[in-house]
């Protein structure tokens, strides 16, 4: 019997006679924490997210496990950190079957399971021997004609309805709604077409305040609203079917906004994501909670809510359930022990010579973000110059392929030689020190590194020890392997690989 079969046979029974909840997990693609109307961003309207937050719990401190799609989604599905998942912990690789995923556990316990849109990915789950996407069987048959070319043609809500029609009456379900939005590319001017105003979209502190950047943010807001529109239709479907209050609804995003120094970075705007949860009268509504919650905590929370215990010989989940926070009547700090979350990244895009990674690890506390850059000799946003198909250099600033192509990046590169604006680009692309420390209370843009400040030496040393202790405890190859974790460089990439000039030869 294979490992998964043994695990599923060993699942514990439902722990309570109470009806098991349906589960709807709605996950957008590349959205940072401040970018909902519930969080106060005037450029966007997210009534469905706001409803979940109002009728349930709005988390101020929800964190993705990684600032990139594949590893972050893998962590959510397994309850384990990316560095515990082998090649599933990096971008565009495989997803070995020895990593047991939440939909399989739920299905074995009697749940109907399905997904629409983007599940786990990008990557190749078939090459790993899986028979379906780790997020569940796909319901993507129904399509629509969106108002802008940048929006997906998948009719997420219609596919959810088709799934619901397939579920036998009385059987609980798991459904993964994975929007492709607000992932790039965007339709330029789509925000303006909806009469959005640039004065409502001031850039965060790590981006230049330029007209092109504000327009780009408005187009980003349009895509967030498309995600929210389909979520609203799903809530209406559940309400009509009498299932809304029997459904545990979790709304979040896989990582931060697709802008320079956000996505693909473990800074605040790369890992701090929206998070709201609703579950009828089981979760008292109208609360805003400060507790730190990470993606690895979501799977154990769902299992506890469903009364399902994995077999004792399953790979242990790194996260812990926050169901007690959800069912509490308290707001603010509910469980003061929830004071740390972790994140990491390895390879993101094909962005360096030999497809090399840029390994980062982060420890986030209520007040500080501590980062360790394990290979500070490499370029964090990717090598500065990429090669054309004929092998010739494409020119200065043609690289940085860990940053999504965008009007914002174009505007920053165009001003690379500007005495002031050029510094903004350098913050995004220049080499970084091995250690970084930010006071996120006053510096959410993570611009002022305190790691070299004598006033913060003892704090930096304490967080450094805690980071290493935890990463060793959880088996991170970057901190446990004698070779420094270079196994990460061996995992195959199933997406196109670019070519870059080789680094200069070392001096004798």
Note whether 309 and 458 are same-domain residues: no
| pLDDT tens-place string over residues 329-367 | 999 999 999 999 999 999 999 999 999 999 999 999 999
Note whether 294 and 270 are same-domain residues: yes
User: Residue 178: beta bridge partners?
Assistant: 27, 117
Note whether 90 and 105 are same-domain residues: yes
Note whether 330 and 415 are same-domain residues: no
Look at residues 284, 317, 338 and tell me which one is the last residue of a structural domain: 338
Angle at 324 between CA 300 and CA 41, to 5 degrees: 85
How many Cβ atoms are within 10 Å of 462's Cβ, its own excluded? 11
- Return mean pLDDT, the chain: 95
Total tally of structural domains belonging to the chain: 2
Note whether 356 and 294 are same-domain residues: no
Alpha-carbon span 66 to 343, nearest angstrom: 5
Look at residues 338, 368, 389 and tell me which one is the last residue of a structural domain: 338
Q: Are 421 and 412 in contact (CB under 8 A)?
A: yes
Among left, alpha and beta (phi > 0; psi -120 to 50; other), residue 341 is beta
Angle at 335 between CA 333 and CA 338, to 5 degrees: 100
Note whether 349 and 314 are same-domain residues: no
pTM, to two decimals: 0.95
Question: Is 6 part of any domain?
Answer: no
Instruction: Give the residue with greater pLDDT, 16 vs 298.
Output: 298
Compute, in degrees rounded to 10, the torsion defined by CA atoms 215, 254, 294, 111: 140
Beta strand pairing call for 341-345 and 287-289 = unpaired
Q: Residue 148: is its pLDDT beyond 50?
A: yes
Alpha-carbon span 393 to 135, nearest angstrom: 40
Q: In a 3-state reduction of DSSP, which class is residue 423?
A: helix
Confidence band, pLDDT 50/70/90 cuts, at residue 311: low
Q: Residue 12: is its pLDDT beyond 60?
A: no
Note whether 273 and 397 are same-domain residues: no
Q: Are 406 and 184 in contact (CB under 8 A)?
A: yes
CATH assignment at residue 259: 3.40.720.10
* DSSP one-letter code for 440: T
Question: Is 503 part of any domain?
Answer: no
Question: Is 508 part of any domain?
Answer: no
Note whether 198 and 245 are same-domain residues: yes
Domain span holding position 401: 343-490
| pLDDT tens-place string over residues 177-198 | 999 999 999 999 999 999 999 9
Note whether 303 and 165 are same-domain residues: yes
Note whether 310 and 353 are same-domain residues: no
| pLDDT tens-place string over residues 440-450 | 999 999 999 99
Question: Is 497 part of any domain?
Answer: no
Note whether 295 and 441 are same-domain residues: no
**CA–CA distances in Å: residue 402 to residues 209, 267, 409:** 22, 14, 11
Question: Is 250 part of any domain?
Answer: yes
Look at residues 319, 338, 357 and tell me which one is the last residue of a structural domain: 338
Q: What average pLDDT score do residues 11-39 get?
A: 83
Question: Is 9 part of any domain?
Answer: no
| pLDDT tens-place string over residues 154-175 | 999 999 999 999 999 999 999 9
Angle at 348 between CA 468 and CA 383, to 5 degrees: 100
Question: Is 504 part of any domain?
Answer: no
Question: Is 70 part of any domain?
Answer: yes
Q: Residue 243: is its pLDDT beyond 90?
A: yes
| pLDDT tens-place string over residues 59-112 | 999 999 999 999 999 999 999 999 999 999 999 999 999 999 999 999 999 999
Alpha-carbon span 269 to 130, nearest angstrom: 33
* DSSP one-letter code for 381: T
Note whether 366 and 417 are same-domain residues: yes
């Amino acid at each position: 019997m294979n490992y998964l079969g043994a695990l599923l046979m060993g699942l514990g029974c439902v722990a309570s006679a109470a009806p098991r909840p349906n589960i709807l997990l709605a996950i957008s693609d590349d959205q940072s924490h401040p970018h909902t109307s519930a969080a106060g961003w005037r450029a966007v309207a997210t009534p469905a997210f706001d409803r979940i937050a109002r009728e349930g719990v709005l988390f101020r401190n929800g964190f993705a496990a990684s600032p990139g799609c594949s590893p972050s989604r893998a962590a959510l599905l397994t309850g384990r950190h990316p560095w515990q998942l082998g090649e599933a912990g990096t971008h565009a690789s495989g997803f070995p079957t020895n990593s047991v995923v939440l939909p399989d556990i739920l299905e074995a316990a009697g749940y109907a399971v399905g997904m629409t849109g983007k599940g786990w990915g990008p990557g190749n789950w078939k090459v790993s021997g899986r028979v379906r996407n780790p997020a569940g069987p796909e319901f993507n048959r129904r399509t629509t004609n969106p108002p802008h070319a940048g929006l997906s043609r998948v009719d997420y809500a219609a596919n959810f309805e088709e799934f619901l029609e397939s579920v036998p009456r009385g059987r609980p379900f798991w459904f993964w709604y994975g929007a492709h939005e607000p992932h790039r590319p965007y339709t330029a001017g789509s925000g303006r077409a909806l009469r959005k105003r640039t004065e409502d979209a001031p850039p965060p502190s790590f981006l230049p305040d330029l007209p092109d950047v504000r327009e780009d943010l408005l187009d980003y807001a349009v895509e967030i609203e498309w995600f929210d529109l389909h979520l609203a239709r799903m809530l209406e479907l559940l309400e009509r079917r009498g299932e809304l209050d029997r459904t545990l609804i979790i709304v979040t995003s896989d990582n931060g906004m697709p802008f320079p120094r956000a996505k693909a970075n473990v800074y605040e705007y790369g890992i701090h994501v929206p998070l709201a949860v609703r579950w009828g009268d089981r979760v008292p509504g109208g609360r805003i909670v400060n507790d730190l919650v990470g993606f690895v905590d979501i799977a154990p929370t769902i299992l506890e809510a469903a009364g399902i215990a994995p077999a004792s010989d399953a790979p242990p989940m790194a996260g812990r359930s926050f169901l007690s926070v959800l069912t509490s009547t308290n707001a603010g700090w509910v469980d003061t022990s929830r004071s740390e979350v972790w994140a990491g990244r390895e390879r993101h895009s094909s962005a360096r010579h030999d497809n090399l990674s840029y390994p980062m690890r982060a420890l986030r506390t209520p007040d500080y973000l501590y980062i360790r850059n394990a290979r500070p000799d490499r370029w964090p946003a990717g090598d500065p110059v990429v090669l054309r198909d004929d092998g010739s250099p494409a020119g200065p600033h043609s690289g940085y392929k860990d940053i999504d192509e965008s009007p914002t990046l174009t505007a920053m590169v165009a001003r690379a030689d500007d005495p002031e604006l050029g510094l903004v680009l350098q913050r995004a692309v220049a080499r970084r020190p091995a250690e970084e420390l930010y006071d996120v209370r006053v510096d959410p843009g993570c611009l002022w590194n305190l790691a070299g400040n004598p006033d913060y030496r003892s704090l930096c040393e304490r967080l450094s020890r805690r980071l290493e202790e935890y990463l060793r405890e959880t088996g991170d190859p970057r901190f446990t392997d004698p070779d420094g974790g270079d196994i990460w460089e061996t995992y195959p990439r199933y997406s196109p690989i670019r070519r870059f000039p080789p680094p200069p030869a070392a001096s004798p």
